[in-house]
A and B are shown apart, each in its own frame.
Chain A
Amino acid sequence: MPIWRQIVRGLRTLTNRKASDRDISDEMESYLEQASAELVASGLSKDEARRAARLNLGSPTAVREQVRSYGWENLVASFFSDVRYAVRRLRGNPGFTTVSVLTLALGIGASTAIFSVIEGVLLKPLPYPESERIVALRHTAPGLHIDDMNMAASLYFTYSEETRAFQDVAMWSNDTGSVTGLGQPEEVPAIIVSHRFLSVLGVKPAIGREFVAGDEHPSGERAVILSDGYWKSHFGGDRSVLGRRMVVDGEAYRVIGVLPPSFQFMDRAVSLMIPQRTNRANVRLISFCCQGLARMKPGVTLAEANADVARMLPMAPLKFAVNPGFGANVFAESRFAPRLRLLKDYLIGDIAKTLWVLMGTVGIVLLIACANVANLLLVRADGRQQELAVRSALGAGRGRIAWELLLESLLLGGAGGALGLALAYGALRLLTASGLEHLPRIHEISIDSTVLVFTLGISLAAGLLFGLIPVFKYAQPQISDALRSAGRSLSQSKERHRTRSLLVVVQVALALVLMVGSGLMLRTFQALRHIDPGFAGAEEVETLRISIPESQVKEPDRAIRMEEDVLRKVEEIAGVSSVAMIGSLPLDGDGNDPVYVESPAFPAGAVPPIRRYKFVSPGYFRTVRARLIAGREVTWSETYSQAPVAVISENMARELWHDPRAAIGKRIRPTLKDDWREVIGVVGDMPDDGVDQKAPGIVYWPLLRKNFESSATDETRSVALVIRTPRAGSTALLKELQQAVASVNSSLPLADVKTLQSVYDHSLARTSFTLVLLGIAGGVALVLGVIGIYGVISYSVSQRTREIGIRLALGAPLQGVAGMFVRHGMILSGIGAVCGLTVAFALTRLMKSLLYDVSPADPVTYAAVSAGLIFAAMLASYLPARKASQVDPVVALRSE
């Protein structure tokens, strides 16, 4: 209660000082009246009584001040008046204030933007309850040279049945589905899941129910759960959608639920969630179809979960029959082992390093900005030195002066922070709009409370950092010196310059570090651009996907014929020079499987190395302009006759037979039960997992295959068309493509329309993203560093005008005087460059994983960057130095 009274009275005084002053005056007046009334009663005249009472009270002003001084609000009021005073001083010097605030806003804005990315991507937990218990069930098979491998259906059942560490186990895989009967036929993204999938994530449908075991039964009715977005766009958010049927890939599905709006999984916007319908009885041991996901029991660690999976792995061969053509101990031979990771780590991948390097980069930019502002503040404090000395002589305490100086800095920091926040907001909008697809969790990035606290923290820290430097130097002025020099300024001692010079050295050093960083990224980017992707003229290749569902065209060869029909129609479009098809585009990756070779044969029972499998139509290599090194492409007649032929990549041919030409006529097959296939062509290597990754050994099989991977006929129903035309990327072409496809089959949706060039650019996206950001940071750092040098030299020139005048009057040559200042600038930048090189040498090791084909100690980069920086520094010190040589001795000597 008393506290309440304190607060209310304090606030009243703060908001209405006049009223509270009047209260005090009234009280004093009443006191006087009472006192004089008593004196009158004791016999004094009215006037005398009044005078006596006043005398007794003492000075009214003193009393009022005494009464007023009580209360917490006085501290607040004096704080506000200090702030007002500081703001007025800052506004009195708009040039200085604008430059400082903008510089800080740049540094703080960049730090805030990158921090919000780090917060959203790395730090924030995944949007599931107790998400730290969710793991991705990955494996590794060193015996097959596979680092990181997905999960088999056999393992899903084994883990579900035998686990001790997991609360729930699930299996999922990405898919797409052709939805018909809801307007235009449409290919929509879908996810196929086992029935406990949502329980593993801890997500419940917003309406309707989860999947149950019965939904997986192959003979039961098909069920589907819709995403919130799909439900709203295609069913208008109607709750009566539950129980309705929809047609996906020609089959009827019953809608049983709708996911909550916030649902997301692995950054993929999914429209349909469909239960898997795997018949456990038909599952073979090697059935690596899917991704595994599990929720650990409370208190179980990742190591314990790994141990549990290692315990269960040997059980799988006992539960499931091994596929024909494989030895029973295939798991043991391939040294198959668990490699579980937290789902978050698995989703984020290796982006963490890039982001921390960027955070370090913007941190350095902020430091440079602080050094710049500190330098400006020093110049200002220098100008105020006499004022401060006078005030100090009149009794202003050291703390008081320090507080004033610091308050100005904190205000600058605060203003810079506010503006920086606005900049960061804009930058993030740009970033999310640019749809940088390689950045995981990009849609979870936002300026939230954690980011705000971070911004506030760095703004205050920056304010303190650059504010304390002038405070230490000037809060206790050398009164006598300062007052004496007021009359006639002496040339400044070296000591006076030392702090500013030190700051410039620091700036130059840090700028050099950033420039080396961006130089290394630039070299990496160049190196990547020089890698031969194996195809050429990609900007003139349009690509799109179609797939022929089994429900529409049952016979494999008719499906392939329909694909060829589409191809022929597309060929007729004006400007199209050639068209072909492939199962998955280059750089898009695809499945791996072992390849057996007839000669030299592998030891019996051993699993041979795995190769990338791709499936191509005739004319594919010609269309993407791949280098056909030996032999020829597959023909259409071979495709339809299911001839046992294949084309392999150059690296695979060299590895097996040392010479591409020697590969022609050799025979290979996927499993021991399949037909042998003759190698009819060898084609140049194409990287498939990203431009910076080594090109895998690739086998290109025809679209239609006999006795392949244990099935009598195997066909590729989902293909990407590659279309070479100068019109690639135009909307007019897209229209004609739609018509061409529709003229063959009106219920075939076109998916994933893009140029081959964009596939290539996408693969370089992360490097170019890092390059652009580091480049901007390096550029800003260079500009700030150069401004720093310019500032110090021109200030030094302006302070030494008199000295220059004397020198010139005594006959010093003009060039000598100018050279003196340029030399000063060069010494500063030289020291800075040496320090910077040392720091860069130590720090750039941290970005090794971001580099390709460039050493972190790349001499070319270091030399070029140093030379560039020294040149810029020379220019920055030459400009003010030239001014020095233009000093007129007479004017200079008279000027004071």
Chain B
Amino acid sequence: MDEPTTDVIQGTLDMLILKTLSLEPLHGFGIARRIEQISRGVFKVNPGSLLTALQRLERSGWLDAEWRQTENSRRARIYTLTRAGKKQLENETADWSRRASAIARLLKAEG
């Protein structure tokens, strides 16, 4: 962890969760840990926001949730991406890339 940590950028948490779950089904803590790992510790997920977001995404039909035994034989709610979730992830990714490249162009612009 060589870079300073920061909270997840406003409005991107949903996308990050969907992306993480598109790799494999995970429980809540696993998702938080995975986001931190992949971002190399740049993003730190607030547990309250994460659990609320999971609740919202599940209600919207993008995730399915199920209580299961984990590999370390503890009970946990495992989240899986649904078909609708996959589609939503594609939309959000495309949208994000568009905006990110626009911002990058703006920042690179020279007088």
Chain A positions near chain B (C-beta within 8 angstroms): 1-2, 5-6, 9, 24, 26-28, 30-31, 33-35, 37-38, 56-58, 62-63, 66-67, 69-71
Contact = CB atoms under 8 A, between A and B. Distances in A.
Nearest to A59: B48
A114 B62 CA distance: 55
B77 A30 contact: yes
Contact of A5 (B27, B61, B74): B61
B29 A35 contact: yes
Given A2-B84, A9-B59, A70-B55, A31 B29 contact: yes
Contact of B74 (A24, A30, A57): A30
B33 interface: yes
A701 to B, nearest CB: 90
A70 B56 contact: yes
Interface string B31-49: 0010000000000001111
Given A67-B48, A70-B52, 8 more contacts: A1-B84, A2-B59, A6-B59, A24-B51, A28-B47, A34-B28, A57-B47, A70-B55
Contact of A67 (B27, B33, B55, B75): B55
Contacts of A37: 72, 74
Given A56-B47, A58-B48, A34 B30 contact: yes
Contacts of A5: 59-61
Contacts of A24: 51
A66 B67 CA distance: 21
Contacts of A57: 47-48
B61 A30 contact: no
10 contacts: A26-B77, A27-B51, A28-B51, A33-B74, A34-B27, A34-B29, A37-B72, A56-B47, A57-B48, A70-B56
Contacts of A56: 47
B7 to A, nearest CB: 13
A9 B54 CA distance: 14
Interface in B49-80: 49, 51-52, 55-56, 59-62, 67, 70, 72, 74-77
Contacts of A34: 27-30, 70, 74, 76
Contacts of A9: 59
Contacts of B60: 2, 5-6
Nearest to A9: B59
Contact of B48 (A2, A6, A62, A71): A62
B75 A31 contact: no
B81 to A, nearest CB: 14
Given A9-B59, A71-B59, A30 B51 contact: no
Contacts of B27: 30-31, 34
A26 B74 CA distance: 12
A67 B51 contact: yes
For the complex of A and B, the 6 pairs showing the least CB-CB separation, nearest first, are A2-B61, A34-B29, A63-B48, A30-B76, A57-B47, A66-B48
A38 B33 contact: yes
A578 B45 CA distance: 109
A846 B30 CA distance: 79
Contacts of A70: 52, 55-56, 59
Given A30-B75, A34-B27, A63 B51 contact: yes
Nearest to A56: B47
Given A2-B61, A37-B74, A67-B52, A30 B28 contact: yes
Contacts of B55: 67, 70-71
Interface in B61-108: 61-62, 67, 70, 72, 74-77, 84
Nearest to B70: A34
Given A2-B61, A2-B84, A6-B59, A31 B52 contact: no
B51, B67, B74: which has the most chain A beta carbons within 10 Å? B51
B36 to A, nearest CB: 11
Contacts of B62: 2
Given A2-B61, A63-B47, A70-B55, A31 B72 contact: no
Nearest to B48: A63
B59 A1 contact: no
A655 B9 CA distance: 104
A28 B77 CA distance: 10
A497 B72 CA distance: 74
A54 to B, nearest CB: 10
Contacts of B56: 70
B28 A27 contact: yes
Contacts of B59: 2, 5-6, 9, 70-71
A27 B77 contact: yes
A26 B55 CA distance: 13
Given A37-B74, A70-B56, A31 B48 contact: no
Contacts of A63: 47-48, 51
A6, A38, A67: which has the most chain B beta carbons within 10 Å? A67
A3 to B, nearest CB: 9
A58 B76 contact: no
A108 to B, nearest CB: 41
A63 B51 CA distance: 8
Contacts of B47: 28, 31, 56-58, 63
Contacts of A30: 27-29, 74-77
A22 to B, nearest CB: 12
